[in-house]
Structure 1
């Protein structure tokens, strides 16, 4: 009986020790689990913060990408506009070069014509000088008229730059061309009219001056500018003194 009691006490002691050890182990494990849980919670919070930051960065990157795409579209549109402008400028430069070439050719032709006319003028003057002593007054007058025509031709080429002859220009003068006397010069020997190259006037063109229905004189254009002309009064061509305001017409 005593042995059984001792055995039971021994078992009780062993059970108590085992329970203590088990409780200690459970407490330690619980603390470890709590620490691990806290670590996991901290890691989770850190991960969530990192995820939020990543999402924010992604949104910012997306917005930046959209802005870059918009800027790229604008640059492409500008590039298309610049290419179109460059093409237009290239066409304009080509057109200007062609126009300049044509102008240079016209100037060269006008210079050649003017040189030929000067040569003819010199020859005519020489012939006139040689014929003065031997020719009749009628031949001298004819030569003088020819000199006036050549001088008018040279003046016309200088003023217009060539392109057509004086005869062609005279033929192209409008029949209804009309003008007004602006000024009387040289004691009535010349007048200034309000017509010029822009109106179709050319050197050597003859006009009739009228005051009302009365013919005052006939004039011949000698110096034609862009907007006005100087004309000489032909002798014995009218019946009165010329005044500013008199009207001029082709007939």
Structure 2
């Protein structure tokens, strides 16, 4: 039975993936910054904060000590962030990159020695369809997830000779509690961005509320795990969300920009 580590496995997409793989017979470990608060998990939840290198190393060492191997790592932990770039505090920008970009890098650094020793392993980085385009009032989120996409492309080539596979999975909008944990720069009364940002914020929340079932992500991850030689990029979500990436490749830049602005009523 293969051993799976899922960061951010206590809720949302991570929890759905963990439960699905557990049902399929995998040995699953999830992580949370506060595992003592997690109730009724069908798989173990260990303490891990992706912003804390020591906690990453302790969690990985615990799993390897228990199972003697680590086959699949799913870098799922992440946070959302919204706001006009001009009005987002720099500390929140840095925190987002610490969680969405630097954290996954530290996780990969922690697990790669074991995977190289085994001469096998699979790392799945959960990014976002937002990583493929600069979205208004989501600039930092798009940038942090986009950076993880590019890192994955490079690291795949560095680790291929060791038998380690690395891939990206970019989800669209899913019906989870992600909006509750997202940092929202406040809509400032009297700001030049007040009306436009307020409208975009409302639209984003509506998209999450009407998003796809997280089980679709779990099934997609399972199919990838079953694939002997995974692709570099996967997209999971509604057709138009995935098609928007195709449109970005084929449309002139300004036409695509206009399409996004119309979508967000800007």
- Fold shared, TM-score > 0.5 on shorter chain: no
Larger radius of gyration: 1
* Structure-1-length-normalised TM-score: 0.20
